[in-house]
Structure formats: C-alpha cells, structure tokens
C-alpha cells in the first residue's frame, strides 16, 4: 500500500468516526460530558500528573492532603500559590465548542475533574466540578469564605481577616471526600443519560472513573476523545487527537 493511499484511508476512517460521533450526538436522548486534565493542556495548564506537572515537583502526600495542610499550612501554600495561578487561564476552542453544544441542546451538562473553571469561562452553564475549583477559599477555623482575588503574592500565605487562620482553596485534596453537591450533581446528570462524551481523561482515577463504566453498563454509548485513547474496549466511537481540533471537527459535522 502506498503511503499516500494509506493516508487517504486513515483520513476516511477519521471522517467516519467523526460522522458517527456527530450522528450519536444528534440522535441521543441525553448527552453528558466527562472531562479531565487533557482538555486544559491547550490552555497552558500541564496535567498535574505528567512529567513536569505539579505532582512531579511536590510530593502529593506532603503537599496534596488535608492532613498535610492542617499540619503545616504555610508549607502547603508553596504548592497552592502555584495552583492558584490556574485561575488566570483562558479557555480554548474545545471548551467553546462544548459550550455551544450545550446552547444548542446537544449537551446537557459537564462533569469535570478540573479545578480551572475553564468550562464556565467558555460559556458552559451546567458544570459539576468534581474536585472543586480555584474560585473561592474558605477558612477552616471559622468558615468565612473568600474570592480568589483575595490571594495576592503580597499576602502569602493568605490569612482569614476574622480569625487569622491560614485559609484554604475550595479544591478537593487527595484524602478528602468528593463534596456532596458534586456527587448529587453528577448523579442527576447521569440519570437517564444515554451518551457520554469523555474528553481529556483516561478515567484511571476513582471516583470519576466509574462514570463512563456505569453509563456503559446501563446501556449508554461512549464517545471517547483523547490524545491517547484508553476506553476503546467500551467506547462506541474513538476520536483520537487534540481536544480543540477534534471538537471543532465534530462541530463541523453537525447539521
């Protein structure tokens, strides 16, 4: 087979996968999405778990647990200061396509493992933040809440104005439970959903990992969009490639 012929075949197969995904979206009863770190890398946020990511520089056991925060909040804020910079990131084209799908009624909501608020910034309304977000901070001593703009390089680590305790961003640490609101929100989205678009996550980490599996078991279909597909065994369609590129391709197939 000549190289150009092979390229041609690969192109046709790609179109077919995209067309198939578009068809599923347009004929589904209720489509939801599950997103992870891979949808934010094009916005300049490296996957925390990747080489060079946050957890390659900060030991998650020493910096990523509520236990560590309570023991030594000043130390954990060395990591958090970096984490909070995510609040300045801008959504990418893929986030914007997702928001438009919601606007068109083709997507009922997004469950995200990301804490960067990029789906909302792009215009998505129904977003369940499984792991919290860098939007607000709370004083663990008195419960007073602060907006992320309260944190500046000059007031590190930021302290509560009422009780002087060091405050904590409302993100879920490794040893913390998923907030009840998020669990209920995810349950509500999953109920009677028949299609899930899984993007930018290999679904290795519980409890978000059980979501596509459960939908599959209740007879739902999975559209996987990943740079390195991981769900081929249960996915009806696999869109292998970058988030924005694949989302834009998918949008072009809709009529």
Residues binding Zn ion (CB under 5 A): 139, 141-142, 144, 160, 162-163, 165
Q: Closer CB to Zn ion, residue 9 or residue 163?
A: 163
Rounded to 5 degrees, what are φ and ψ at 194? Answer: -115, -5
Cα gap 73→81, rounded to integer Å: 12
**CB 140 to Zn ion: min, Å:** 8
- For this structure, is 131 an active site residue? yes
| Region of residue 105 (left: phi > 0; alpha: psi -120 to 50; beta: else) | left
**CB 165 to Zn ion: min, Å:** 5
Q: Closer CB to Zn ion, residue 23 or residue 162?
A: 162
Q: How far is CA 227 from CA 140, 200, 230, 251, in A?
A: 39, 7, 9, 18
**CB 69 to Zn ion: min, Å:** 14
Q: Of the listed 8, 125, 131, 255, which one is catalytic?
A: 131
Please report how many Cα atoms fall inside a 13 Å half-sphere around the Cα of residue 104, on the Cβ side: 13
Q: Closer CB to Zn ion, residue 9 or residue 142?
A: 142
Helical spans, DSSP H, in the chain: 3-27, 54-57, 60-63, 66-71, 73-83, 93-103, 118-122, 180-190, 210-217, 243-253
Return the number of other C-beta atoms located less than 10 Å from residue 174's C-beta: 15
Q: Closer CB to Zn ion, residue 142 or residue 191?
A: 142
Q: Closer CB to Zn ion, residue 7 or residue 72?
A: 72
Please report how many Cα atoms fall inside a 13 Å half-sphere around the Cα of residue 203, on the Cβ side: 26
Residue located via tokens 């910034």: 121
Burial class (CB in 10 A: 0-12, 13-18, 19+), 179: middle
**CB 170 to Zn ion: min, Å:** 14
**CB 159 to Zn ion: min, Å:** 8
Give the residue numbers marked as catalytic.
131
């Amino acid at each position: 087979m000549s190289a150009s012929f092979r390229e041609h075949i690969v192109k046709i197969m790609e179109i077919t996968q995209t067309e198939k995904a578009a068809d599923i979206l347009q004929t589904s009863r209720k489509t939801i999405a599950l997103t992870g770190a891979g949808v934010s890398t094009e916005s300049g946020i490296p996957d925390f778990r990747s080489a060079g990511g946050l957890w390659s520089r900060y030991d998650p056991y020493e910096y990523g647990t509520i236990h560590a925060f309570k023991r030594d909040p000043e130390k954990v804020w060395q990591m958090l200061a970096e984490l909070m910079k995510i609040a300045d990131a801008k959504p990418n084209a893929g986030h914007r396509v997702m928001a438009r799908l919601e606007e068109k009624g083709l997507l009922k909501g997004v469950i995200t493992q990301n804490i960067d608020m990029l789906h909302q910034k792009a215009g998505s309304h129904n977003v369940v933040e499984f792991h919290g977000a860098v939007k607000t901070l709370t004083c663990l001593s008195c419960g007073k809440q602060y907006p992320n703009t309260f944190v500046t390089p000059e007031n590190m680590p930021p302290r509560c104005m009422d009780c002087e305790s060091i405050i904590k961003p409302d993100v879920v640490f490794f040893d913390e439970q998923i907030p009840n609101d998020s669990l209920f929100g995810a349950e509500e989205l999953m109920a009677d959903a028949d299609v899930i678009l899984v993007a930018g996550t290999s679904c290795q980490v519980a409890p978000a990992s059980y979501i596509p599996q459960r939908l599959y078991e209740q007879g739902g279909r999975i559209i996987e969009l990943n740079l390195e597909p991981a769900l081929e065994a249960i996915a009806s369609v696999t869109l292998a490639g970058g988030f924005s590129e694949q989302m834009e391709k998918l949008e072009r197939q809709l009529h």
